[in-house]
Amino acid sequence: MDKLIKEFIEYLTHARAYSEYTETNYEIDLYNYKEFLDKYGYDYKHINYAIISNYTKSLKENNMKSSSINRHLSALRSFYNYLVRKGVVKSNPFKLVTGPKTESKLPNYMKYNEFEELLNTCDSSPLGIRNRALLELLLATGARVGELIKLDVADVDFSSHEIKVLGKGNKERICYFGEHCAKALEDYLEQSRPILLKNKKSSRLFINHIGGELTDRGVRTIIDNLIKKCSLKTKITPHTFRHTFATLLLNEGCDLKSVQELLGHANLNTTSIYTHLTNDRIKDIYLHAHPRGRK
């Protein structure tokens, strides 16, 4: 089973374009599952609902959150889909398994002035110029960090302000950027990237401090270090930029279907969670606009 898990993780990397963060969690979850099977002598090829029920029960007994249990089940569902395609098993025992209900948490997002404060921590050094371009592009496109680090220089079209992004399942979409982002990218490509490359060659857009490809973890470290330099109390991760992107668009009147397309969501229900973030603003607009709503 160890070999199949490794093959599956490689498959996620090369064929599914999953982020490093997701791949790491899936790998941990799958080895946790293997440990459970070994402990009770179960064969991964002959799994039934009773075994799955015992497994989820063991996760609960270890005080695992519902969201983490659902991630475990998602990892196993994907893993067994892979095994079915390879002909290792005939059917996916996790296909119809539903996880525990989770509390609906609203996405964490930044206010625009918080983004500006974060930008102001970027200095004029090669790394500072790169970091500014990175932040601008994250907010301009709403791209996932796993998508951002796989961008090539050739994917950026300055004439049309468009970027080709390869999303989940190798689905390509077009993202857009404005003048602020364009200026930051041009500065980075002209002034910073050649220095960071250190005479190396790379097609990747974003380069790390030793001239190699920037990783998922590298982006998280950059953002964490920038936050330490300013007074922000909001919890900010690379995904916070994606949430902020969606919230800003909806607050400015962009329709949900367009936001879905820009984010690369396969299902509109995934995008609809952002509408909860705009409810307070809509209420405020109503109270100011309706003649019987004003005081």
- List Cα–Cα distances, 66 to 26, 59, 99, 271, in angstroms: 16, 9, 8, 21
Tell me how far apart the alpha carbons of residues 40 and 42 are, in angstroms, rounded to a whole number.
6
Residue among 77, 164, 168, 204 flagged as catalytic: 168
Residue 71 among the catalytic residues:
no
Looking at 34, 173, 220, 265, which residue is catalytic? Answer: 265
Question: What is the helix (H) or strand (E) element at residue 60, kind and residue range?
Answer: helix 49-61
Catalytic pick among 71, 72, 130, 144: 144
Cα separations (Å) of 213 from 75, 126, 200, 216, 293? 27, 15, 11, 10, 55
- Catalytic residue flag (residue 46): no
71, 193, 242, 243: the active-site residue:
242
Written as six digits, the tokens of 153 are: 């220089």
274 catalytic? Reply is yes
239 catalytic? Reply is yes
Helix (H) or strand (E) holding 64: none
| Token pair listed for 259 | 């936001």
Instruction: List, in sequence order, every beta strand (DSSP E) within the chain.
Output: 156-157, 162-166, 172-176
List, by residue number, the catalytic residues: 144, 168, 239, 242, 265, 274
